[in-house]
């Protein structure tokens, strides 16, 4: 037991929300630790919920399932610090040591997502306040204010004490900060920080008023303190800046704990947090600038498993750091929070696990290992029941673990590589969501509409930020790049002039960095490069016919008319008869620029027509399939590196599929690692092949 500072009001050096990031060790990779398989199977384990006599039987079952990783501690604050300044880590030391006995390494979670009752009772100012002024109560989780300095001191202290104890523990491979960042706060301290953040960015209130056009509705401000803090129903510039402030605040929240951990931890221990896919409460690229690797929680939000959409989310997560990542939580067949929590089909748990590896995951970890004795998630899927005995999905996960061990050496040091990229912009998603104009224009749905054919036709796609390097890509697609600052536009112009092929989707280039309308109209700073601009946009309540040399179909949800201004701008598609405004007007145009090209698609196209367009774009860009002739519903993934190339084939369908291989390959999942010239995949079948 250690005694901490009773009052803990030490300064946090929180003067700048955009704090300098600590140096990230170059060696902090997902597989940079000894004596563990290169590809890990894991589970979330909560030893604090059980008598110690039950720990070993759980770990025996884990080892039998080839589980080599557990995440522990992320909700155990009241057990680690049962009263203020009094720390109890003996139980955690014993749990980690016992896990090591069964060849299981540990990711430690800082427990700051679930503060203990003594903290929130004694210091109620640490509780978040929602936009309507209501303060959270204790009893759930994530009820803290991410901006509160007192809470940050408590978070710093518990993280530092954990690092002092476990930063050199050979069985601890990494750290997860908090859990599923999400809730912002509108408490007085957060508002004051927002005002300081704005003043630092704009310098003067007159500059802010100019960029925000506050003369509209008499919103003109005399001081920064007059500016409200809201996340809806406000000036679009204010809303966008609030989101950016929230992003920087979560970044500094992370840096606060990183600064507590890193001085006491081995360089081999990585630091991450667990993200939630397309959740857009903050900018993940901003947050990940201070993290070592990316990790996400892979849960199926719909009644059926959509492999394309799930693959896109893996690629999104890989794009946060542009390197391999972890799936730090995923469902063992079902969840508990959907209206009807139907299970994955038998075989789909394995299907999902291998899809994660194919898209660049180096670990897959199930939430959770065992049913909790009580609490809000009693019905959630598990690998072991309340009695400690395996549930039916255990055997399928055991098969996955066995296969990870067989293939780990071949996959070690490899990663996916793509020559096609989709640009994903949080600023643009936020700007569109603030002012949908058509309720059905969902930015992520539009991105995935482009992703589906690109992934099928190219078999490898990166999802990247607007700031990511573009040199490696033959084709770059920006489905709805609504906010287009001049700096990003300059990079896109240079990409095209250097021979790249750029495709813009509807609503692109409408706004500048302040969420104000670009005076050139769409696509803003790219108008001259395109040799055209958007003359008008229209929300659609019914389908409109669209046709051209590349096919015919319909526009739905959204349509823009495009006015060419250059003689070499070619019209690809035109609208048919509809509302009069759209009749015979250009819907998509393209222009060749040297060896490159820029294309603008002004409509939300039906999927078959969009598929025809993307096939043409890929052909023009010279993008080749990884493995031609693959049946529909079979996903092809390739990981290369360290002189190796591994193909992962996944049959997402319920029918058997035959795939001919271009040359004899080694079947890494077969007992004899035999050479084969073709693969027959059963329902939800998987093959892992090496040249």
Active-site positions read 180, 329
Collapse the DSSP code of 226 into the 3-class scheme (helix H, G, I; strand E, B; otherwise coil) and give the result: helix
Cβ neighbours of residue 264 closer than 8 Å, sequence gap 6 or more: 160, 163, 164, 167, 168
- How far is residue 388 CA from its own chain's centroid? 33
Angle subtended by helix axes 236-261 and 188-202, to nearest 10: 110
Report the residue count for the chain: 691
Peptide bond into 117 cis (omega under 30): no
Collapse the DSSP code of 389 into the 3-class scheme (helix H, G, I; strand E, B; otherwise coil) and give the result: coil
Nearest to 505 by CA among 466, 478, 472: 478
Q: What whole-number distance in Å separates Cα of residue 4 and Cα of residue 264? A: 17
Q: What whole-number distance in Å separates Cα of residue 334 and Cα of residue 552? A: 40
- Any idea what the Cα angle at residue 339 is, between residues 333 and 344, rounded to 5°? 20
**Please, are residues 52 and 59 in contact by the beta-carbon 8 Å criterion?**
no
Q: 501-504 and 544-548 as β-strands: parallel, antiparallel, unpaired?
A: unpaired
**Please, are residues 635 and 650 in contact by the beta-carbon 8 Å criterion?**
yes
Q: What whole-number distance in Å separates Cα of residue 22 and Cα of residue 149? A: 20
Nearest to 437 by CA among 491, 480, 384, 386: 480
Could you tell me if residue 321 is left (phi over 0), alpha (psi between -120 and 50 degrees) or otherwise beta? alpha
Task: Centre a 10 Å sphere on the Cβ of residue 102 and count the other Cβ atoms it contains.
Answer: 17
Tokens representing 575 are 């609208």
Tokens representing 685 are 């079948």
User: Where do we find the tokens 């990663």?
Assistant: 415
Q: What whole-number distance in Å separates Cα of residue 273 and Cα of residue 254? A: 9
Residue 254 is classified by DSSP as H
Q: What whole-number distance in Å separates Cα of residue 476 and Cα of residue 508? A: 14
**DSSP secondary structure string for all residues of 151-213:** HHHHHHHHHHHHHHHHTT-TTEEEEE-SSS------SHHHHHHHHHHHHHHHSSHHHHHHHHT
Tokens representing 222 are 């005399």
Nearest to 466 by CA among 431, 501, 496, 490: 490
Q: What whole-number distance in Å separates Cα of residue 113 and Cα of residue 540? A: 43
């Amino acid at each position: 037991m250690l005694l901490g500072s009773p009052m803990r009001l030490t300064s946090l050096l929180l003067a700048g929300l955009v704090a300098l990031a600590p140096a990230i060790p170059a060696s902090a990779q997902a597989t940079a630790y000894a004596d563990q398989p290169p590809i890990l199977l894991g589970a979330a384990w909560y030893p604090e919920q059980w008598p110690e006599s039950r720990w070993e039987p759980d770990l025996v079952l884990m080892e039998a399932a080839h589980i080599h990783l557990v995440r522990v501690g992320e909700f155990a604050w009241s057990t680690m610090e049962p009263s203020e300044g009094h720390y109890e880590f003996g139980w955690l030391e014993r749990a980690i040591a016992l896990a090591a006995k069964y060849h299981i390494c540990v990711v430690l979670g800082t427990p700051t997502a679930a503060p203990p009752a003594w903290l929130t009772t004694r210091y109620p100012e640490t509780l978040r306040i929602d936009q309507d002024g209501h303060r959270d109560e204790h009893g759930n989780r994530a009820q803290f204010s991410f901006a509160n300095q007192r809470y940050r001191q408590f978070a710093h202290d518990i993280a530092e004490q954990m690092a002092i104890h476990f930063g050199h523990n050979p069985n601890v491979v990494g750290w997860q900060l908090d859990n599923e960042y999400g809730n912002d706060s509108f408490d007085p301290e957060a508002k004051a920080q927002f005002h300081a953040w704005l003043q630092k960015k704009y310098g003067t209130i007159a500059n802010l008023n100019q960029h925000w056009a506050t003369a509209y509705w008499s919103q003109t401000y005399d001081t920064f303190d007059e500016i409200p803090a809201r996340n809806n129903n406000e000036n679009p510039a204010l809303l966008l800046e609030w989101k950016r402030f929230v992003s920087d605040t979560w970044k500094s929240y992370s840096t606060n704990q990183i600064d507590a951990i890193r001085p006491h931890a081995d360089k081999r221990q990585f630091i991450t947090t667990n993200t939630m896919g397309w959740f857009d409460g903050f900018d993940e690229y901003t947050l990940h600038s201070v993290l070592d690797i990316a990790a996400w929680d892979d849960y199926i939000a719909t009644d059926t498993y959509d492999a394309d959409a799930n693959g896109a989310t893996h690629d999104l997560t890989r794009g946060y750091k542009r390197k391999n990542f972890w799936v730090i939580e995923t469902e063992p067949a079902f969840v508990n929070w959907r209206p009807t929590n139907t299970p994955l089909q038998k075989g789909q748990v394995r299907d999902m696990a291998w899809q994660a590896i194919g898209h660049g995951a180096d670990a897959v970890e199930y939430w959770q290992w065992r049913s909790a004795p009580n609490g809000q998630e009693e019905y959630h899927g598990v690998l072991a029941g309340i009695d400690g005995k395996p549930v039916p999905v255990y055997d399928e996960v055991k098969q996955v673990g066995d296969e990870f061990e067989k293939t780990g050496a071949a996959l070690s040091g490899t990663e996916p590589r793509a020559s096609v990229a989709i640009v994903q912009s949080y600023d643009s998603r936020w700007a569109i969501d603030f002012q949908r104009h058509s309720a059905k224009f969902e930015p992520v749905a539009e991105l995935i509409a482009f992703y589906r054919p690109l992934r099928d036709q190219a078999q490898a796609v990166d999802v990247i930020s607007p700031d990511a390097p573009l040199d490696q890509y033959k084709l770059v697609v920006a489905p709805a790049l609504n906010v287009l600052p001049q700096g990003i536009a300059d990079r896109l112009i240079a990409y095209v002039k250097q021979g790249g092929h750029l495709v813009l989707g509807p609503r692109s280039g409408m706004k500048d960095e302040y969420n104000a309308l670009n005076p050139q109209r769409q696509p803003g700073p790219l108008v001259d490069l395109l040799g055209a601009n958007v003359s008008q946009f229209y929300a659609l309540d019914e389908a409109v016919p669209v046709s051209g040399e590349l096919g015919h179909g319909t526009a739905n949800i959204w349509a823009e008319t495009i006015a060419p201004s250059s003689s070499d701008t070619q019209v690809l598609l035109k609208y048919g008869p509809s509302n009069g405004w759209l009749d015979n007007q250009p819907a998509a145009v393209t222009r060749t620029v040297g060896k490159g090209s820029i294309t603008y698609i002004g409509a939300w196209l039906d999927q078959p027509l969009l598929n025809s367009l993307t096939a043409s774009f890929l052909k023009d860009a010279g993008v080749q399939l990884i493995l031609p002739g693959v049946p529909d519903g079979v996903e092809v993934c390739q990981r290369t590196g360290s002189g190796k190339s591994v193909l992962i084939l996944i049959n997402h369908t319920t029918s058997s599929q035959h795939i001919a291989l271009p040359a004899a390959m080694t079947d890494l999942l077969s007992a004899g690692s035999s050479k084969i010239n073709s693969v027959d995949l059963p329902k939800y079948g998987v093959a892992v092949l090496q040249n």
